[in-house]
Structure 1
Amino acid sequence: MNDTAQARRQLGDGPLSRFASRVYILLVVEVLLLVTGLPTLLPLLLLDRDPSNLPLVALLLTPVGPAVSAALYALRHQRPDLTDLRPAALFWRGYRGNVGGALRVWTPALAWLTVLALNLAYRDAVGLPAWWVVPLVLVTVGVALCAANALVITSLFQFRTRDVLRLAVHFLVRTPGVTVGNALLLAAAAGITAVFSEAVLALLASVVVLGVLRVADPMTDLIRKEFTA
């Protein structure tokens, strides 16, 4: 019996062992998300929920993009083999490899979302008619959903930034299930933040990232089939 088979036998390969391994992976990724996001999370918790703080919120959220990208990479590439659990190594590999691409799609998305949110918050001051609220909300949601697609694509594939953005918009329409799923996750995240706090959402970050990854499966399968060798 070889070493791998012996180790697997010692660890067990039943449902309980598989469940424990998944919990372990999520906990490790959660800790690393908190570590990389700690400089953002602490100041964010101290800010008043006032629209005037939106630009500062966007600035503080900038490091979140690369961290989420690394988590997506780690959760996607972690092998199911119980003898080869190394989510931390995969997280840091994904962070180093994707930090540039993640920032190139995450930073413009934050900028657009900030501008749109400020226009919604101060629509009376800027003289926007009431009927503008609906299209602004739709555009805001569209930008957020495109950003989610783009972050998944740039985390899992090697494309130029403009191609990532084109694919993100393309699959927003082509895979409506992914779009609806991300919209539901976005609504759930907003609800958790509104009812509880950003800290509670941060503690569930790895679960949310796993949800985004699973929702995006139809999109990533099509990209792998049609746009990669």
Structure 2
Amino acid sequence: MSPGGGPGPREGVRREFGEGVLGRATAVVYWYLIVEVMLVVAVLPGALVSLFLARTPGNAVLFALCLVPVGPAVSAALFALRDRTKAEGLTPASSFWRGYRLNWADALKVWVPGLVAGVVILLGLANVGAGGVPGWYAGALVVIGAGLLLWMVNALVIVSFFGFRTRDTARLAAHFLGARPLVTLGSLSLLVLAAGIVLLTTEAVFGLLAAIWLALVLRNARPLLSDVEERFTSAG
């Protein structure tokens, strides 16, 4: 007891887990770890099948089919990562599956067409130099492919937090490529980083870092999300 009869230092109000600096840091690590596990589980079927495919242009369609689950999983992970600051407890798995349930259909509506376009571009690159296709065509396809990837990043970010019609999502994703050049440049840098990790290591290594990479994508997209909310929703 303290001299005044109140509780002493050891008898004060008990802190809840996560209130201290160490607790908050532990909670963040736990949240990211569980989101990473959920992400891996969601894409695992396609990833396992892709291990048996040779890395050749002829298998581009099969690789694209293996990548179909990635779109909804990425959307769910983005939803869960943003939900960390609003959740009342340590519930990353619940946040992930809630995001998956809410967004899987909208995510597929932008992700699958992006994959189809990506296959067409890849097959076009594979045929450069054959059949009289000019060399400059390869450069044009690379630029188009980069623009497609940037559009897909924007589209997945938008569908993860807003319920627009697919055509409106597509338009907004394209609009913000020019309207928010710093966000676009940041996304391009993150895509280059992802490609570098894959080239220097393996797809599996990048997969294990995917939650951190997506957190960077989400942080980079904050101005875009703010613009969408303020200008294109009733809440804004």
Normalised to the residue count of structure 2, the TM-score between the two structures is 0.89
2:69 aligned to 50, 63, 74, which one? Answer: 63
Instruction: Tell me the equivalent position of 2:164.
Output: 159
Structure of greater relative contact order (alpha carbons < 8 Å, 6+ residues apart): 1
Instruction: Tell me the equivalent position of 1:204.
Output: 209
Task: Determine which structure has the larger helix proportion and give its number.
Answer: 1
Q: CA deviation at 1:21?
A: 1.2
Instruction: Tell me the equivalent position of 1:107.
Output: 112
The one-character-per-residue Cα deviations of 1:28-62 (angstroms, maximum 9, x if unpaired) are: 00000111111011122332222222111111000
Unaligned runs of 5+ in 1: 1-5
Does residue 145 of structure 1 match 2:150?
yes
CA contact (8 A) 1:69 1:152 kept: yes
Alpha-carbon distance in structure 2 between the residues aligned to 1:154 and 1:52: 31
1:46 aligned to 42, 49, 52, which one? Answer: 52
Unaligned runs of 5+ in 2: 1-11
CA contact (8 A) 1:119 1:126 kept: no
Q: CA deviation at 1:136?
A: 1.0
Bigger Cα Rg: 2
In the alignment of these two chains, the number of paired residues is 223
Residues 39 and 7 of structure 1, relative CA distance in 2, 3 Å threshold: farther
CA contact (8 A) 1:145 1:183 kept: yes
Alpha-carbon distance in structure 2 between the residues aligned to 1:19 and 1:108: 39
1:211 aligned partner, one-letter code? L
Identity of matched residues, %: 48
Alignment of 1:74-223 (within 5 A): 74-79=80-85, 84-223=89-228
Instruction: Tell me the equivalent position of 1:3.
Output: none
CA contact (8 A) 2:18 2:27 kept: no
SS in 1 for 2:16: helix
Alpha-carbon distance in structure 1 between the residues aligned to 2:149 and 2:96: 24
Q: Which runs of 4+ in 1 moved over 4 A?
A: none
The one-character-per-residue Cα deviations of 1:116-136 (angstroms, maximum 9, x if unpaired) are: 011112212343201112111
Q: CA RMSD in A?
A: 1.7
1:15 aligned to 16, 21, 28, which one? Answer: 21
